[in-house]
Structure 1
Amino acid sequence: MKEGNSFARDLKARHLIMIAFGGAMGTGLFVGTGQSLHMAGPLGTVIAYCVASVIVYSIMLSLGELSSYFPNTGSFGDYADKFISPSAGYMVFWLYWLNWTTTVGIEFIAVGFLMQKWFPHIPTYIWVIICIIGVFSFNVYRVKIFAESEFTLSLIKVIAVVLFLVFGVAMLFYHLYENGFAQTFSNFYFHTENYTGFFPNGITAVFMTILAVNFAFTGTEVMGVAVGETKNPAKAVPMAINATLWRLIIFFVGSVFIIATFLPMDNATITQSPFVDVLQIFNIPYVSDIMNFILISALLSTANSGVYASARMIWGLAEKKMLPHFFARVNKNGIPINGLMFSMLVSLLALLTAVSPAKSVINNLIAVSSLAMMLVWVSVSISQYKFRKWYLAQGKKLEDLPYKTPFTPGIQILGVIGCVVSIIGAYFDKEQRVAIYGTIIFCVVAFIAYHLTKNLWKENEKL
């Protein structure tokens, strides 16, 4: 097999838009919403999603300016390396890789949960193995095959959410007509012997939930990686960014509002999709089975994006000579095959469901993935702010940028504060605290590893 070090620019604008449009619709939205609802209550969950929408949109605005000017496959790590420091870039590469390898495992576990509906006697780990084989097949041949599979799978989940919203809005108006405002929205207000109000577990639970909710938006930023393999990125990136805001509001916040309205918080779990629960409440025949199939497609889509992104992070590290050149090799079809196989092997952590309770595994993986993503998002905000200063110092004009982030530096400050608040809120949750400590240790190890090996691979290449 002939090998080189260049990617094929086979992604088109429609691929990039659909990756940005549907990349985030995975376990966080389709399964994790149940856990958020159970913790923060209906109104608290809606608020958490609104806050997270603002955070991720601010990050996307910053990413748009960077990725349209520097359409690099290394993306976040490249930006941090150039505009913060090489050690920060090294850490960001690994954090984004960590985020996606854990996310891929979560998606596989979630598929196993959903398959239990039809095959209750088949263990979850069997479905994990099947998912690994399928997603690896989408990524191993040509990036065009990945792009078309991702386009199709993302389109399926977009259709799924549209159908859910149509059914939900119709039922909402029906209940308003039949039962009135107070009864229709009775899930939002609690009146018991021990508590009266909107937040049954306190307002603190809302802040504790924001980090997990941010996990639901993981994947929106994958376009920043895919732009390096996209034709005419200066045109495609602004189109993808502009599609993000209304997608966040309509698809995420709208769906969560429908779920919170009809699904009592005590009935919400992390082992079944709240989308399926709500459709069962509507008593629509066969729709829950159809939705279950669509949700499985949706989770495979996010896993597909995750494998794609994590392989490119390993390639990015090796391309900067921060890992052995072995990982920088790109085969004749433009696939970083060694980085792909390495990332898939790490995603086998999802098989821990065979020896550990699945709920425990998925909760810990979500916490690790969410924190890693928050740190990457912070680096994007800081990189864009420093890039803007660098750009202007070159005597260049803002109107010449392919995409200009509005309200600089306010947008960047908002992004950083939002991510920091999410992390602080998660610290008050004892279950997430362990994952926070673990991620901090990961960052320290990465920082030390950088300084121990920063010249090692450069020297070896000269030999």
Structure 2
Amino acid sequence: MQEESKILTQSEEENAEGLRRNLSNRHIQLIAIGGAIGTGLFMGSGKTISLAGPSIIFVYMIIGFMLFFVMRAMGELLLSNLEYKSFSDFAADLLGPWAGYFTGWTYWFCWVVTGIADVVAITAYAQFWFPGLSQWIASLLCVLVLLSLNLATVKMFGEMEFWFAMIKIVAIVGLIIAGLVMVLTHFQTPTGTVAAFSNLWNDGGFFPKGVSGFFAGFQIAVFAFVGIELVGTTAAETKDPQKSLPRAINAIPLRIIMFYVFSLIMIMSVTPWSHVVADKSPFVELFVLAGLPAAASIINFVVLTSAASSANSGVFSTSRMLFGLAQEGNAPKAFGKLSSRAVPSNGLTFSCICLLGGVVLIYLIPNVVTVFTLVTTVSAILFMFVWTIILCSYLVYRRKRPQLHEASIYKMPLGKIMCWVCMAFFAFVLVLLTLQDDTRQALMVTPLWFVILGIGYWLRSRSRRA
């Protein structure tokens, strides 16, 4: 294993000149925010509120709290060796080559699956303005735009993500301010209810659906946090990782409180939770109540850019993961080649071709909501696997390299204890996924991916021995 890790380090040194550190602190901060605010907040919050009531606020806080420690573990590991390009690298180094293989390919698949969901969503949002536009053309245009912009330079990706995230922030801050004004002026809604903070507890208390309703909220809320680890795939292209990564990770709790908690408090203060419609975006509903005639168009634009941001992040991270896998001999060599602009163009093109699977899904299964639920649940399960690998890598790092932990300037608080607490939490979420029919189906399908990976790894090991 030591010999393999030496080979890995040597291959990294040979390719160190490849990926360029073109992402500034400004880009990293907004990429981290973009990763923490998923499309699930805009579109899924209506369903989560109807399932859990005001207790959904605690659901988001608990998930955010747990994922903060996963990010801290990732941050300490990435900064312990600046030759690590992503968590796939430290997983291979600390847990063994199998972990790098499984993590890299699973993370690639995670983002392809999420990207397909995003392409399906973008196509649906585009129909709002262009009802006559064919779904095939809308999806194809979306993928081509993402491919062409990512092929330019890594700085172009940073700029795109910066502005996509800025749009999301402005929309959420606008909602919080609008909601606060309505509460302070005792705004009366068309249904006769008056906007007030007391709406949070007056309609059956904070747990109106009981413990079962509270638990049901976790299933959808986890997907809203998918992509929070994205900042870990930018490590090799960050100008000053020692400063930028800790800043981005440390700000996660504040962002979760501001963007998730405050926005949900305002939505349920203006409209009692029992009046929130599950299949509509509560963001649109609040702006409509505020008397903004263009609310539907504005929020449609925000949600479209949010989905585009997620797909853009997916295209970026999958190409970098394929680049790392190719360097380690776990993927075709073609994916390890860079263009003249230091971009892994072959990996980008391959990932974008896979995204077109979203177009096929639209035609195979007419019910987009069914596809979206299945796809997002599979994605959430696989992301939890990646987060667990990060925690397992941290535990091995603490055991095998205590000197690096002692020298670290960015130690994970309550290191070993919180690793076990977070893993127990992920196991608890998996148990919750068995409670609903649609999520149970996704849970039963997911092991097939690991069977395919296992066969692939066995064939790779056999060919290497031969």
Which TM-score applies when normalising by structure 2? Answer: 0.88
Query: 2:460 — aligned with what?
Result: 453
Distance 2:301 2:252 in 1: 25
Q: CA separation of 1:176/1:413 partners in 2, compared to 1, >3 Å: closer, same or farther?
A: farther
Query: 1:426 — aligned with what?
Result: 433
Query: Identity rate of aligned residues, in percent?
Result: 30
Residue deviations 1:391-423 (CA, integer Å, cap 9, x gap):
21xx4562x314111111122122212211111
Contact 1:25 1:299 in 2 (8 A): no
Query: 2:318 — aligned with what?
Result: 310
Q: CA separation of 1:180/1:131 partners in 2, compared to 1, >3 Å: closer, same or farther?
A: closer
Question: Which ranges in structure 2 are unaligned for 5 or more consecutive residues?
Answer: 1-13
Contact 1:222 1:305 in 2 (8 A): yes
Q: How does 1:316-335 map to 2 (within 5 A)?
A: 316-335=324-343
Q: Following TM superposition, by how much is the alpha carbon of 1:144 offset from its aligned partner in structure 2, in angstroms?
A: 1.0
Q: CA separation of 1:149/1:109 partners in 2, compared to 1, >3 Å: closer, same or farther?
A: same
Query: 1:238 — aligned with what?
Result: 246
Distance 2:266 2:455 in 1: 47
2:72 to 52, 55, 61: 61
Q: CA separation of 1:56/1:397 partners in 2, compared to 1, >3 Å: closer, same or farther?
A: closer
Query: 1:12 — aligned with what?
Result: 24
Q: Following TM superposition, by how much is the alpha carbon of 1:262 offset from its aligned partner in structure 2, in angstroms?
A: 3.9
Query: 1:168 — aligned with what?
Result: 179
Q: Following TM superposition, by how much is the alpha carbon of 1:214 offset from its aligned partner in structure 2, in angstroms?
A: 1.4
1:321 maps to a residue whose letter is G
Which TM-score applies when normalising by structure 1? Answer: 0.88
Q: CA separation of 1:175/1:240 partners in 2, compared to 1, >3 Å: closer, same or farther?
A: same
Distance 1:253 1:124 in 2: 35
> Are 2:88 and 1:88 aligned?
no
Contact 2:175 2:286 in 1 (8 A): no
> Are 2:346 and 1:338 aligned?
yes
Contact 1:315 1:328 in 2 (8 A): yes
Name the stretch that deviates more: 276-285 or 423-432: 276-285
Q: SS where residue 129 of structure 2 aligns?
A: coil
1:133 maps to a residue whose letter is L
Q: CA separation of 1:34/1:240 partners in 2, compared to 1, >3 Å: closer, same or farther?
A: same
2:32 maps to a residue whose letter is A
> Are 2:384 and 1:384 aligned?
no
Q: Following TM superposition, by how much is the alpha carbon of 1:371 offset from its aligned partner in structure 2, in angstroms?
A: 0.5
Query: 2:263 — aligned with what?
Result: 255
Residue deviations 1:63-85 (CA, integer Å, cap 9, x gap):
11112223456522222222223
Query: 1:350 — aligned with what?
Result: 358
Distance 2:420 2:393 in 1: 12
Q: How many residues align?
A: 446
Q: Following TM superposition, by how much is the alpha carbon of 1:197 offset from its aligned partner in structure 2, in angstroms?
A: 6.5
Distance 1:33 1:177 in 2: 23
> Are 2:77 and 1:70 aligned?
no
Distance 2:137 2:43 in 1: 19
Q: Following TM superposition, by how much is the alpha carbon of 1:363 offset from its aligned partner in structure 2, in angstroms?
A: 0.8
2:70 maps to a residue whose letter is I
Contact 2:405 2:411 in 1 (8 A): no
Query: 2:6 — aligned with what?
Result: none
Contact 1:95 1:372 in 2 (8 A): yes
Distance 2:133 2:264 in 1: 30
Residue deviations 1:8-32 (CA, integer Å, cap 9, x gap):
1111111111111222323211112
Q: Following TM superposition, by how much is the alpha carbon of 1:123 offset from its aligned partner in structure 2, in angstroms?
A: 5.1
Distance 2:275 2:131 in 1: 23
Q: How does 1:31-180 map to 2 (within 5 A)?
A: 31-38=43-50, 40-71=51-82, 74-122=85-133, 124-175=135-186
Question: Which ranges in structure 1 are unaligned for 5 or more consecutive residues?
Answer: 191-195
Query: 2:36 — aligned with what?
Result: 24
